Amino acid sequence: MLNHLHIRNFAIVPALDLEIGAGFTAITGETGAGKSILVDALGLLLGERSDAAWVRAGADRAELAAEFSVQNNPEARAWLEESDLALDDNCLLRRTINANGRSRAFINGSPVTVAQMQSLGDLLVEIHGQNEHLRLTGKAEQFRLLDGCGGYESEITEVRSAFSQWRDTADELDRLDRETALSASELEFLNFQLDELQQHDLSSEAIDSLQNEHDRLAAGGALLDAVNHSIELLEPESVAGNTGINAGLNTSLAQLQQFVPLDTDISEACQMLQEASVNCVEAIGALRSARDRVDLNPARFEDVASTLGQMHDLARKHRVRMEELGDVMESLAGRIERATSSEQCRDELKSRLDRQLEHYRAAAQQLHGQREKHAAALSKQVIEFMAELGMAGGTFELSVKIHPERTPSARGDDSLEINISTNPGLPPGPLNKIASGGELSRISLAIKVA
């Protein structure tokens, strides 16, 4: 229950302190007197979004505070205790809004987030606005009002869970049908594409080896000339008068060896010349081995180039890099496999879908029974409150019908229909056709109170 409302520098109100007594309180006044400002202030204290426009002109900030009694509100008391914000039987909400738009929220003196304030506010107050009744004609709102206080949350949860499982399986079956729905010509084309790819070894090692062989064959003549020339420079075999680099190294080493004891630099130079001679001999051996491997086979080069060309063409056709052709081949093989051997999987999914649908229908039937009982009790209560709101003799019938032939939904198989009579003796009719705006407002309030 609201005990006290404090407003300072809010909208057009410089300062206001309103004490609220027990029971019903009515705030009256002419249009524009500021009645709705009180509701706006209360809404901000309950977690609505703030705006700098709410700060009174010329003021630095607006201040709002409301004190509620939670003595008879176990839900609010539990929330406060769980949030470590409980004090006593009262709860103080406070909010400040600066002229720059920034706001701060407090519960019992402790700073909190607006989301926390909104969570608590939902447990403290229910605001019935001017256009709230218009929502009553919507099916979603009717289900919310019926299920919100029916006490059968477990049945609602079971229906939602059963529907979710059924929908997931239905989606999986639909996906399988789309992937495997291939005509004979489409399947033939996929097999043709797969056969093209299977003509080649598409492993990364094979592609690298083929590319390397192509590069060696392409450079065969120039490579052989360069190797022979290098060997001839290092150790000539038939050029008269040319001792070669290796022989020159050995000659220099022999001439300098006798002077090693006399100069450390000569000693270091001889050591390096000796290492160079050893490296030179090893280099000559490596070059001769490379020369033996040089392949000047034009026919083989043509075969390798043709194979690489075909693989490049396949990569362009499938719009991938050549290294990714192996993945394309696996994907095609998998798709063909699913298309030709998917019947067992499809049968398993259909069987699972049938079992889940049966479970869903049973859960929906249980929920329907609970809704029927609650709808009858709610209708009776609403009629009683309608009489208190000046609609004595009026009727309110909330009927729940089940449609087991419908496609499953998270709400179950039920449809709701509200028929009313606002005057004694008149037959009931659809809510959205019979009730006026004022009558809708009173009926909406009666449902909430019930």
77/38 same-domain check: yes
Q: Is residue 418 part of a domain?
A: yes
Do 81 and 110 belong to one domain? yes
Residue 154 has pLDDT above 80, yes or no: yes
- Asked if the model's pLDDT at residue 239 lies above 60, the reply is no
In a domain, 22, yes or no: yes
368 is a domain residue = yes
Residue 240 scores a pLDDT above 60: no
DSSP string for 282-295: HHHHHHHHHHHH--
179-208 core/surface letters (b: 16 or more CB in 10 A; e: else): ebebeeeeeeebeebbebbeebebeeeebe
From 90, 112, 127, the end of a domain falls on 127
pTM: 0.47
> Does pLDDT of 263 surpass 60?
yes
Residue 306: its pLDDT value, please? 85
Same domain, 104 and 8: yes
**CA distance linking residue 17 with residue 446, whole number of Å:** 30
| Sheet with 110-112: strands ordered across | 13-19, 2-10, 61-69, 90-98, 103-107, 110-112
CA distance 423 to 191: 75
Structural domain includes residue 111: yes
- Residues 18 and 55 reside in one and the same domain: yes
pLDDT score at 251: 82
| The pLDDT of residue 364 | 96
Whether residue 47 is found in the same domain as residue 94: yes
- Residues 116, 16 share a domain: yes
For the chain, give the percent of residues with pLDDT over 90. Answer: 29
Query: Model confidence at 132, in pLDDT bands (50, 70, 90)?
Result: low
Q: Which of 85, 110, 127 is the last residue of a domain?
A: 127
Residues in the chain: 450
What would the pLDDT profile of 368-418 be if each residue is shown by its tens digit?
999 999 999 999 998 888 888 888 888 889 999 999 999 999 999 999 998
113 and 97 both lie in a single domain? yes
Instruction: Establish if 232 belongs to a structural domain.
Output: no
Answer yes or no: do 143 and 112 share one domain. Answer: no
CATH number at residue 88: 3.40.50.300
Phi, psi angle pair for 102, to nearest 5°: -75, 145
Same structural domain, 45 and 13: yes
> Do residues 103 and 145 share a domain?
no
Which domain does 403 fall in, by range?
134-152+361-449
Query: What is residue 89's DSSP assignment?
Result: S
Domain termination residue (choose one: 78, 111, 127): 127
Q: Please give the helix or strand (H or E) that residue 65 lies within, else none.
A: strand 61-69
pLDDT of 221: 62
pLDDT for res 128: 64
